[in-house]
Amino acid sequence: MTRISRLEKIGNTLKQINVGFLIQFSVSLLVLFMVLYPIGWLWLGSIRTEPFAPDYTLSWYLKIFSDAVLWQRLTNTLKITIGTGILSLIIGLPIAWIVARTDTPFSKKFELIAVVPFMTAPLIGALAWTNLAAPRTGLLNLLYRFVFDSSLKHGPLNIYSMWGIIFCLGLYYSPYVFLFTAGALRSMDPALEEASRISGCNIIRTTFKITLPLVYPAITSGVLLAMVFAAGQFAVPALLGTPAQFSVMTTTIYELMNRWPINRSLAAAIGNLLVLFTFLLLYLRGKLLSKGAFTTVTGKGYRPDIIRLGKWKYVTFSFCLLYAIVVFGLPMFALIYSSLVKYWSVKIGLHRLGFWNYTYLFTEHSLTFVAIKNSLLLAVFGATACIFISSIISFIVHRGKSRWTPLLDYVAMMPIGVPGVVFAVGVLLGWIRPPFVLYGTLGILIVGYISRFNPVGIRAVSSSLVQVHPELEESSRVAGSSWAGTLLRITLPLVKPGMQAGWMTLFIVFLREFGISLFLYSPGNEVVSIMLYEFWENGDMMKASALSIVLMVVTVISIIIMRRLTGADIAGMKS
Amino acid sequence: MKRKKMKVLSAILPVLFMLVMISSAYAQTQFDPKLISAAKKEGKVTLYNSGDREAGEALLKAFKAKFGISGEQYRATSNKVLSKVMEEIEAKNIYADVLCTGSPNVLRLSQKGYIAKHDCQQAKFYPASQQTEHYVNVTGIAMFIMYNKDLVSEKDAPKEWKDLINPKWKGQIVMPDWSASTSPLILFQMFKDIYDTEFLKKAGEQKFIIHKAHGAAANAVASGENAIAFEMLSDRIAVEVKKGAPVGYSVPTPVVFNPRQMGITKGAPHPNAAKLLMEFALSKEGQKIYNLDYWLYSFRSDIQYPPEMYPLDKIKLYDFTPKMWLDFTDNMPKLIEEANQYWLKK
């Protein structure tokens, strides 16, 4: 090739480069960097004697399998992951069936309550359940002993145990099973069910022999997702497991990063094992979803029959009511009561109620307003920046023709399988030293939040984008509009609902974010969840309850304002 | 008669005025005016504190009222404070101005060269044994046994350390996490020194209920969830007593007395405000706010303890020599492993 023809080629390439390409290219690079850089540091840190030392070793991985304490914590993680999967199935599946396929009264209301756990952080849920089921002073235990057996000194419930952790996680992750299953139940082809009933099978037999096997992939998908989140949970095992000396991998990572001497390499090695485990679960889920088992759930707009339960509808109603009480009523009552007493005691009475904790929060504690301001700032700006990035990535993934597109999709979605505390270790290692020092600024929190939760935004925007046929955009381009013009005039208005829903979901996720914040915050950058954790660590459970109520009020007010302004819904509720 | 009164008044008033002026001048001279002016220019100070948050807030509030300099606080367990400071040093992005944490963390940092030397003016009121050129022991925290009075009568309450290994308390004793907080580990070291391994084993058989920090452990006892705290810091007991919680405490023999060390981070972003805060915390005024309200013992000789505080001279203290502190510092990771072996549930 002559020098002139080479120059011509470069000239032609430069002509082809336009604003659209530049934006897509730079956002793609940014996302690849934001995800791969911390994950790369996690792997590098785990195979070095110290993350920033030049000596390489595999001893940290060997230690995990040879150290009896660490091995036990690994098995504990497996136990709560499996337990959560089973419990989320036991709770989520019947609720989904009742809400989607039966004439149970108030089923629409129960549907709303079923997604309440999305709105409240697991940390708050665990806090509420310590007030309800602490062995000696939990409100439910006090009630049981008062009514049934005053000779008992504690129990019968004990939230500070492995079972307590599984209960809390199962309760708070059951909406994943519920949402996936309810969606599949609503869109399935009713022909097979009808055939079963015509053949003489009753409702129960038809449900177990026909309906459930048909939606099996959706159920399993929800269960596996609940298990992924359970394996990476930190707050619930920390709150409920510590008193029982029950540690898991996430709490061990926290311990290693906050003790003397700090052992970041071992923390990174444990984190990587956890990532491998969650990726295995996600791989299984992907395999299931890619199988043809969904062929009877085609999304063709079937309207399966609503099953008339007769007098049995009172049984299903009672089940839903019990769920509503357990997931919403009892925790809310416990939090409100706890927020109104000066100190927790077995002596219960109206005379003990007052607003001390709220007064303390708003008049004495120097961090309250700082933390609320920081949380709102991160939620608003973080969600806005994240949805911008997610939209571009989503656009590239669904409209791009490059052979690198699947890789970008895979990398951008990768953090969904990386637990928050593990990802935070990677972000800390990556952004603490030159050349990229963001440690100690709000910037590191924004970077951490966006990199980790970008998949949430991508999923929300993608769900809208796949419904927009590319022909519309192509027509615009043919008519002479630029990439940016097409994006602004055609694509964006059509995917706006998805973007709004994604923004709203990200806003809520960022407002209550805990795992990443715990590792990356600095004085002045505290967020509400950090204050909550500090209250718990300091034994100020009543103040923690008051702050939880404040956080929930702020969340609900924000949602109402956003819905009024945009009419947007929460993406997680639908996708 | 009236004229006589007026004469007396006119004689007294100038004297009173002079007295007020002198006392005000005395108050000002406690702190170097140049330091005050330099600190005011910096306008801000950040305290890293492993003690009670409310105590830290009270100190910073009084500091702001006196000098008009606002303060921020980072509160965490002692080991977390230490790891946070190390992270900041590594990132060359230091936020910590003043460190206030239980022994031997500031000592440890000073050995690594991370604590600035400070010629503290208030140090002259403190015994030489309680200070180095890097830090001063701002308070001393006594470790007592705490119990819930509704669950354990004063008569039955464990009085000595050995009473705690009585099987009747099995499953009822809380213990702060020894991998997060240094105090329980210091206690473990003392038990190793004064008792045999049988004591450590029997203590482990009590199946401790672990809490991440002293505050959470104190709350568990105060609420009646658990009966006894194996060791509880005097400031935490004070917080629960002030709330009106039904807690009592015993003073065993010997008592571990953990000095809370205060020092200034090398490279602190507000070095003058840091020095002034340290001077203030060590002054009589600071000690009254910070220490006595929270049952923290003062090393100053001119401090009068409130009556509800257990008199220091009646406590038999375990003599942790400077050499022992240094050994303890070096052996901490090993000690954590050892405590795990004895005290973690099998």
Q: What is the ipTM of this complex?
A: 0.82
Contacts of A366 in chain B (CB under 8 A): 57, 60, 72-73
With CB atoms and an 8 Å threshold, state whether B53 touches A160. no
Angle between helices A442-465 and A368-399 (to 10 degrees): 40
Contacts of B246 in chain A (CB under 8 A): 345
pLDDT value for B17: 58
pLDDT at A298 over 80: no
**Could you say which DSSP state residue A158 is in?**
-
Average pLDDT over residues B269-276: 97
User: From CA B102, how far away is CA A302, in angstroms rounded?
Assistant: 67
pLDDT (tens digit, 9 = 90+) per residue, B145-167? 999 999 999 999 999 999 999 99
pLDDT value for B27: 47
Nearest to B88 among A136, A260, A440 (CB): A440
B275 in reach of chain A (CB within 8 A): no
pLDDT value for B19: 56
Among the ranges given (A270-279, A300-309, A332-341), the one the predictor scored with the smallest mean pLDDT: A300-309
Which H/E stretch holds residue A565? Answer: helix A541-566
A9 in reach of chain B (CB within 8 A): no
With CB atoms and an 8 Å threshold, state whether B225 touches A134. yes
With CB atoms and an 8 Å threshold, state whether B108 touches A536. no
Residue A21, judged by CB atoms within 10 A of its CB (0-12, 13-18, 19+), counts as: exposed
B333 in reach of chain A (CB within 8 A): yes
**Which conformational region is residue B263 in: left (phi greater than 0), alpha (psi within -120 to 50 degrees), or beta?**
beta
> pLDDT tier at A16 (50, 70, 90 boundaries)?
low
With CB atoms and an 8 Å threshold, state whether A260 touches B208. no
The more confidently predicted of residues B5 and B138 is B138
pLDDT value for A145: 94
Cis peptide before A415 (omega within 30 of 0): no
pLDDT value for A300: 53
| Nearest residue in A to B94, CA atom | A440
Among the ranges given (A12-16, A96-100, A211-215, A474-478), the one the predictor scored with the smallest mean pLDDT: A12-16
Among the ranges given (A50-54, A335-339, B130-134, B305-309), the one the predictor scored with the smallest mean pLDDT: B305-309
- Mention every residue, 6+ apart, whose C-beta is less than 8 A from residue A443: none
Query: To the nearest whole angstrom, how far is the Cα of B145 from the nearest Cα of chain A?
Result: 17
The more confidently predicted of residues A346 and A411 is A411
B80 in reach of chain A (CB within 8 A): yes
Contacts of B84 in chain A (CB under 8 A): 522
Interface contacts A/B by beta carbons within 8 Å: 138
| Nearest residue in B to A134, CA atom | B225
Residue A499 CA: distances (Å) to CA of A389, A400, A558, B226: 11, 19, 17, 50
Supply angle C-alpha A492, A496, A497, rounded to 5. Answer: 155
With CB atoms and an 8 Å threshold, state whether A433 touches B91. yes
The answer to whether the Cα torsion of A261, A264, A514, A171 is positive or negative is negative
pLDDT value for A403: 81
> pLDDT tier at A295 (50, 70, 90 boundaries)?
very low
pLDDT value for A575: 35
The candidate with the shortest Cα–Cα distance to B189, out of B141, B109, B256, is: B256
Query: To the nearest whole angstrom, how far is the Cα of B194 from the nearest Cα of chain A?
Result: 25
With CB atoms and an 8 Å threshold, state whether B216 touches A537. yes
With CB atoms and an 8 Å threshold, state whether B212 touches A255. no
Query: Of chain B residues 282-321, which have a CB less than 8 A from chain A?
Result: none
Nearest to A523 among B74, B214, B224 (CB): B74
The structure tokens 């956080």 sit at A551
The candidate with the shortest Cα–Cα distance to B344, out of B213, B208, B199, is: B208
A432 in reach of chain B (CB within 8 A): yes
> pLDDT tier at A572 (50, 70, 90 boundaries)?
very low
A359 in reach of chain B (CB within 8 A): no
Bridge partners of A473? Answer: none
Query: To the nearest whole angstrom, how far is the Cα of B105 from the nearest Cα of chain A?
Result: 10
pLDDT (tens digit, 9 = 90+) per residue, A538-558? 888 999 999 999 999 998 888
| Nearest residue in B to A428, CA atom | B87
Query: To the nearest whole angstrom, how far is the Cα of A167 from the nearest Cα of chain B?
Result: 20
In this structure, what token pair is assigned to residue B241?
């007593």
Among the ranges given (A274-288, A357-371, B22-36, B107-121), the one the predictor scored with the smallest mean pLDDT: B22-36
B121 in reach of chain A (CB within 8 A): no
The more confidently predicted of residues A150 and A41 is A41
Amino acid, single-letter form, for residue A108: K
pLDDT (tens digit, 9 = 90+) per residue, A235-289? 999 999 999 999 999 999 999 998 777 899 999 999 999 999 999 998 888 887 7
3-state class of A48 per DSSP?
strand
pLDDT value for A570: 59
pLDDT value for A121: 83
- Mention every residue, 6+ apart, whose C-beta is less than 8 A from residue A373: none
With CB atoms and an 8 Å threshold, state whether B76 touches A261. no
Task: Share the mean pLDDT of chain A.
Answer: 87
pLDDT value for A539: 86
Contacts of A540 in chain B (CB under 8 A): 215, 219
pLDDT value for A573: 45
Among the ranges given (A17-21, B47-51, B195-199), the one the predictor scored with the smallest mean pLDDT: A17-21
Contacts of A440 in chain B (CB under 8 A): 88, 91, 93, 95
B88 in reach of chain A (CB within 8 A): yes
Contacts of B180 in chain A (CB under 8 A): 255, 258-259
SS3 annotation, chain B: CHHHHHHHHHHHHHHHHHHHHHHHHHHHHCCCHHHHHHHHHHCEEEEEECCCHHHHHHHHHHHHHHHCCEEEEEECCHHHHHHHHHHHHHHCCCCCCEEEEECCHHHHHHHCCCEECCCCHHHHHCCHHHECCCEEEEEEEEEEEEEECCCCCCCCCCCCHHHHHCHHHCCCEEEECCCCCHHHHHHHHHHHHHCCHHHHHHHHHCCCEEECCHHHHHHHHHCCCCCEEEEEEHHHHHHHHHHCCCEEEECCCCECEEEEEEEEECCCCCHHHHHHHHHHHHCHHHHHHHCHHHCCECCCCCCCCCCCCCCHHHCCECCCCHHHHHHHHHHHHHHHHHHHHHHCCC
Average pLDDT over residues A356-362: 94
The structure tokens 């043809």 sit at A292
Task: Share the mean pLDDT of chain B.
Answer: 88
With CB atoms and an 8 Å threshold, state whether B212 touches A238. yes
pLDDT at A341 over 80: yes
Query: Of chain B residues 175-214, which have a CB less than 8 A from chain A?
Result: 177, 179-180, 208-214
Bridge partners of A343? Answer: none
* Residue B68, CB-side half-sphere exposure with 13 Å CA sphere: 7
- Distance separating the N- and C-terminal Cα atoms of chain A: 52
pLDDT value for B98: 97
User: From CA A464, how far away is CA A295, in angstroms rounded?
Assistant: 22
A433 in reach of chain B (CB within 8 A): yes
pLDDT (tens digit, 9 = 90+) per residue, A51-91? 888 899 999 999 999 998 899 999 999 999 999 999 999 99
* DSSP, residue by residue, A285-345: HHHHHHSGGGGG---S---PPPBP-GGGHHHHHHHHHHHHIIIIIHHHHHHHHHHTBSS--
User: From CA B258, how far away is CA B98, in angstroms rounded?
Assistant: 19
Nearest to B210 among A243, A364, A440 (CB): A243
> pLDDT tier at B15 (50, 70, 90 boundaries)?
low
The more confidently predicted of residues B118 and A303 is B118
Average pLDDT over residues A349-377: 91
pLDDT at B24 over 50: no
